[in-house]
Structure 1
């Protein structure tokens, strides 16, 4: 692979944090329009240079940034249009609900937890009194665009209680072109190092990739607020299947057509060492009713059926490690395996990554990562060096100088031999001047021939109107 150079053409600027970028065709329209969902709860659409508000749910969104110095990972996190949206007007939202702020599941800052391999008590924490010790509630809802052009909420699909403010997923709702089902990606619940090991627990909704059959009617008007599958009413359980577990925090599931099949890509955000992209073609989702049955019978389902991304024992291609500064040499860090038993337990069950890229990498042509923020296939021809590849964005490459901050774009390609792949940088023009530019989201159009990049001038959602959306062009 070689370095590709692209331009960034601005589409809209001075907006709030652009978390979801995708296109659709409105009922009765003939133009494919770009939809932009902001973390604070606005959804805009653009076509022929025209910018309009599609929906504003800011009053429904929990107050962001108040308890974390302006930084936040809650808010409007997912937007997906039904495959038949043009005819039925149905679309789906995932967001953090106003008025649900709790004290958190553990005392201290939201990322303060670190396991201590010398203290077994830190390796087996339990999330207790969940109705009291939680951070907030997320909801997944079905909405409909009425014939008068006004969107209204139809029903609630899930209400999820979350232990911490971070790792709630982003671009968390996407429809599968294979099954027609809505795919929900949930992070591990937050803090650092998954303190309660929710991602590997088959009963926990946290740390999973879940399919929802939205065509099944549950007749449950208001689903209960839950954290575990067995707490759901049976009619809701019957709409759910689980594709994968072992998720830390995921940037949604994307699909690339390969002959008569689809390659699925899942970008898993790392802890301290590595960012990872997983890919798979074949999978056998497990019905939640079967998982609950195994739980009640105190038996284990066939783990061969689960796709397991390996967290918390594995951070991408590496065993999860704790970093400690070396007192004799501050430039170096000691790396200790955080969860040895977890790494052993999942070593043969986990899916091998397609590609990992690292927070420290001295190789030529590479960059020091911060956090993976988007993964999208590119099937267009306008940028021939990228055709058929998988493009990904990182929040902010580490640099020697403090300012200005720049995100990173790079690409890799699918491979069929299951070996760990490498990547190449995408060089861009620099329209940012002295302004910081965090790359916060990546999107594509319906046939994946165009790519869109969401950029923000701050890491803090409380710093308003610093967002710009670009199209990535030759």
Structure 2
């Protein structure tokens, strides 16, 4: 059993969605940057917390409709690899004033459930998108000016989202392989991906997309879209798609291994299982090719294109609807939700590196809720974890404890690439009677230090309940 300590770095902040380090222009040391869901970005300098940027007025009103839980807000921050020289950084957030009615009449949180006996629920279409949507997300390029003030330079994408959840989180990262900005988008939400957006090649939802920020487009206010073919050609030309079949992703991380990179991606599960995937080789498809194939109604060769299998597959399992067994929960019946989708993606999908379950009878494991971060650890301070893949879960299975606690765990990449098991990391920190949801996981530039974001409430409208820790021996 590995035990670690949590060293508090900053407390009483809003919900921390992104934890990253970079070297500020003119600075000599890496500093930790913290982005909050409500729209603030802080950095830690000489033990003091400084504000880097505050865009709270530009963020959609969180917790609207009386629901304190929300998955919108400032959800992505990435610094250009040359940030020290060019001052460029990128934001992904849900825009103020864009609240819509949602894409289904009654799609409150997770209310949509497919009924395998009712074909209408299996083949829903997202229609009247201009009026039937929840909100608009934007991806922007900003620059830190020579006077130290950040300023927006341009908008890269405006995305109309069907529901309030599954927008991705920690959704922007730069690929050290390609130098491109990587955007991870969730399937757009509700539950069970009602419109099967994640498998549709034209839908931006449910994909991992690379954006070539060097290819300048002179379209500074791109149209608000949901599909790749609605984008002007100059914007299409800056985009390639790495993967589809995504439900919701807490970011992508890159682990240098000799002269190549292992990519780690977590896919948040529906009712059964949370999954972490890894891959080295992949064949991205330029968006222009996808659009052309769609116009010609032709099948593209997708050999080498990554497919995580959602909505047919939840990790290594066919996506299931659970029918409760009141006499004994261990006997709950699990019914395949989308049999045809399972068959279609059975061969094409990537198998997970590891999975963990919402219910796990094994004494040394835990029942999880939702994956919130995946990072390789390359440091030596916690030698038992060196070279492992560390991950966080939002909250341990409700029945097992009160107050709520998140979970830290780890796994290894097997040389034979087969599915691996995971182990829990114990922490010796005393949160007292306060809830502790583990909401984010971050690392420094060389992945030798790990940072954990914790929040004292499920509701983003309960302010200043966040603490950021460094995970130490």
TM-score bracket for the superposition, by shorter chain length: over 0.9
Contact 1:294 1:300 in 2 (8 A): yes
Give the aligned length. Answer: 472
CA distance in 2, matches of 1:353, 1:329: 30
1:356 corresponds to: 355
Residues 67 and 323 from structure 1, CA distance in 2 versus in 1: closer, same or farther, beyond 3 angstroms? same
CA distance in 2, matches of 1:330, 1:295: 45
CA distance in 2, matches of 1:420, 1:53: 43
Greater Cα offset, 319-328 or 58-67:
319-328
CA distance in 1, matches of 2:305, 2:160: 24
Contact 1:102 1:133 in 2 (8 A): yes
Given the alignment of the two structures, is residue 211 of structure 1 paired with residue 210 of structure 2, yes or no? yes
CA distance in 2, matches of 1:263, 1:328: 45
Which SS does the other structure have where 2:229 is aligned? helix
2:65 corresponds to: 67
**What's the CA shift string for 1:352-406, capped at 9, x where partnerless?**
1000000111112100011000000000000000000000000011153552111
Contact 1:254 1:377 in 2 (8 A): yes
1:6 corresponds to: 4
Give, in angstroms, the shift of residue 345 of structure 1: 0.3
Match among 90, 99, 102 for residue 88 of structure 2: 90
Give, in angstroms, the shift of residue 232 of structure 1: 0.2
Give, in angstroms, the shift of residue 339 of structure 1: 0.4
Contact 1:286 1:305 in 2 (8 A): no
Give, in angstroms, the shift of residue 330 of structure 1: 5.3
CA distance in 2, matches of 1:343, 1:214: 36
Which SS does the other structure have where 2:198 is aligned? helix
1:110 corresponds to: 109
Given the alignment of the two structures, is residue 404 of structure 1 paired with residue 403 of structure 2, yes or no? yes
CA distance in 2, matches of 1:41, 1:465: 13
- Please tell me the root mean square deviation across aligned C-alpha atoms, in Å: 0.9
Which SS does the other structure have where 1:93 is aligned? strand
Alignment of 1:227-306 (within 5 A): 227-306=226-305
CA distance in 1, matches of 2:44, 2:310: 38
Greater Cα offset, 237-246 or 414-423:
414-423
2:52 corresponds to: 54
Given the alignment of the two structures, is residue 419 of structure 1 paired with residue 418 of structure 2, yes or no? yes
TM-score (norm. length: structure 2): 0.99
Give, in angstroms, the shift of residue 303 of structure 1: 2.0
Alignment of 1:144-183 (within 5 A): 144-183=143-182
Given the alignment of the two structures, is residue 27 of structure 1 paired with residue 14 of structure 2, yes or no? no
Give, in angstroms, the shift of residue 67 of structure 1: 1.9
Residues 68 and 202 from structure 1, CA distance in 2 versus in 1: closer, same or farther, beyond 3 angstroms? farther
CA distance in 1, matches of 2:389, 2:186: 22
Which SS does the other structure have where 2:293 is aligned? helix
Which SS does the other structure have where 1:370 is aligned? coil
Give, in angstroms, the shift of residue 31 of structure 1: 1.5
Task: State the 4+ residue runs in structure 1 displaced beyond 4 angstroms.
Answer: none
Contact 2:281 2:304 in 1 (8 A): no
CA distance in 2, matches of 1:416, 1:203: 35
Alignment of 1:303-318 (within 5 A): 303-318=302-317
Which SS does the other structure have where 1:204 is aligned? coil
Contact 1:32 1:47 in 2 (8 A): no
Contact 2:283 2:303 in 1 (8 A): no
Contact 1:34 1:45 in 2 (8 A): yes
Give, in angstroms, the shift of residue 146 of structure 1: 0.2
Given the alignment of the two structures, is residue 431 of structure 1 paired with residue 430 of structure 2, yes or no? yes
Give, in angstroms, the shift of residue 333 of structure 1: 1.5
**What's the CA shift string for 1:214-266, capped at 9, x where partnerless?**
00111112100000000000000000000000000001110001000000000
CA distance in 1, matches of 2:65, 2:353: 37
Given the alignment of the two structures, is residue 198 of structure 1 paired with residue 204 of structure 2, yes or no? no
**What's the CA shift string for 1:127-184, capped at 9, x where partnerless?**
0000000000000000000000000000000000000000000000000000000000
**What's the CA shift string for 1:409-461, capped at 9, x where partnerless?**
00001123231111111010123111100000000000000000000000110
Give, in angstroms, the shift of residue 79 of structure 1: 0.1
Give, in angstroms, the shift of residue 204 of structure 1: 0.2
